[in-house]
Structure 1
Amino acid sequence: MSWSILFQFIIAFIFALSLFSKLSDYDSFFQEVESLEIIPHKLIALSVYSLLIFELFLVVSYVLDLFSVWRELFTITLLLFFIIILLRKTKTKNQTTCSCFGNDNFLNKYPIQRNLILILICILNMNIVSFQFQWSHSIFLFFSILLFLVLFDIWNTIKKIKVMGKIHDHI
């Protein structure tokens, strides 16, 4: 397997998981964006929807191997934007984590480091010699990401059931 396919899978998976998590817990994501206090209240819904559409665009572009180099530049720009927002949040609210992926999501830990690693992966992917990308690669990436999302959802549901069971036992 080419390194480029692996890098594309990693980035597509992270953004697909991000999109899935934000859609699964839309209210928490909306409140997180609102709590940043950088967007006028009237534009928060538009901003949230725009970000979700943009993340979907990135997932599709990595899975289908579209817009090579441009998608990495867009990804790097978005991740740098997220890092700036997180640094601002750390400075103003003294919080080093985010709830960008919904409550209790493992992706919320170490967001700046995660984004820096993803930026490095994008830079590496831009510098890899181009190869002939085939539809079989896209199908593989799509179903792999779908499988991981389903497994993540099952894992997350089991975790929530365990928490609810503990709460029920205390009542």
Structure 2
Amino acid sequence: MHVIGNVIAFVFMYLFLISIIMKLKSMKIFISDLNSYRIVPVKLLRVVAVFLLVSEVLVILSFWSNAPENHEWFSIVILLGFSIAGLYKSIHSKDSHDACSCFGEMTWLNANPFIRNIFLILLALFHLFFGPEARSSEELIYLGLAVFISLTTTIIIQNAKNRKRKKYFLQKAEHLLNHKKTEYILFVIGYKSPYMATIDHYLAITKGFYILFYAPDYVLALKTTKWCNHIVISIGSSNQVNHKHEDAAFVISKHNKKSTRIQDALAHINKF
């Protein structure tokens, strides 16, 4: 049971650290995503964002030190809150899908958030009733090192994946739009992108962009109508959507042949 308790602590520390890092890397997107839930008043969005980040830090510290007593209830309450907010959004949002943006570009962790949260709640309950009462200093060191090594490896792999994906999209953009004499800003979007809500809102109030859109036909039809001020180019049919790129989110500028993450691009779009 002692070993299982340490493994559960590792899982919580690893997941919540990724969540914090991704939120800090794209704070504006995080706040925009909070706003899409339509639960928190706009004036309080930043306060709630900071509160959630601090709460996640406390979860990490509590599982690492295994203190205070019954600290697992704090994590359970947070996870229940996330689940309820997600269900509320899925009920009231027309464009919702079974994913969240909690882990940013680590999209493999964003799928099925409700199931993920329930699983974590069960792990927290197991740790509460069967976990170790205390950890030795050696265990604290080894646990911290294990999380650090795993997190570093994950980030390295993700960055390599992003570089490969950017190269692919740059080549695709050159092939499709190289004949255009005018400059362009190209959005590359997958319909399951964790930033879809923010991108959708941005494109609805702007005009003049080229959009490579990965989506089934019915989603393409809806978005083409909504993004009527842009040129939408579909890649993939309803039966041939490239699942490798269905969560993509990049912006490419012909002016300087630059590809950037959507998190950075939306905040500085006029600088292209």
Relative distance call for 1:15 and 1:104 in structure 2 (3 A) is closer
Alignment map for 1:2-41 (pairs within 5 Å): 2-41=3-42
Residues 26 and 102, structure 1, Cα contact 8 Å, conserved in 2: no
Q: What's the offset of the Cα at 1:27?
A: 2.4
Out of 113, 117, 121, the residue aligned to residue 115 of structure 2 is 113
Relative distance call for 1:38 and 1:129 in structure 2 (3 A) is closer
Alignment correspondent of 2:75: 75
More strand by share: 2
Structure 1 consecutive aligned stretches of length 4 or more whose deviation exceeds 4 Å? none
Pick which of 82-91 and 2-11 moved more.
Answer: 2-11
Amino acid in structure 2 at the alignment position of 1:161: R
Task: Mark the runs of 5 or more structure 2 residues left unpaired by the alignment.
Answer: 175-272
Residues 32 and 100, structure 1, Cα contact 8 Å, conserved in 2: no
Task: Mark the runs of 5 or more structure 1 residues left unpaired by the alignment.
Answer: none
More helix by share: 1
Q: Which has the higher contact order (CA 8 A, sep 6+)?
A: 1
| C-alpha RMSD of the superposition | 1.5
Q: Give TM-score, length-normalised by structure 1.
A: 0.92
- Identical counterparts, % of pairs: 25
Is 1:87 the counterpart of 2:95 in the alignment?
no
Pick which of 129-138 and 51-60 moved more.
Answer: 129-138
Relative distance call for 1:123 and 1:26 in structure 2 (3 A) is same
Alignment correspondent of 2:144: 142
Alignment correspondent of 1:45: 46
Q: Give TM-score, length-normalised by structure 2.
A: 0.59
Deviations 1:42-87 (A, max 9, x none): 1100110111111011111111222131x21000000000110111
| Distance (Å, rounded) in 1 between the aligned partners of 2:57 and 2:119 | 20
Relative distance call for 1:36 and 1:4 in structure 2 (3 A) is same
Q: Greater CA radius of gyration, 1 or 2?
A: 2
- Number of matched pairs: 170
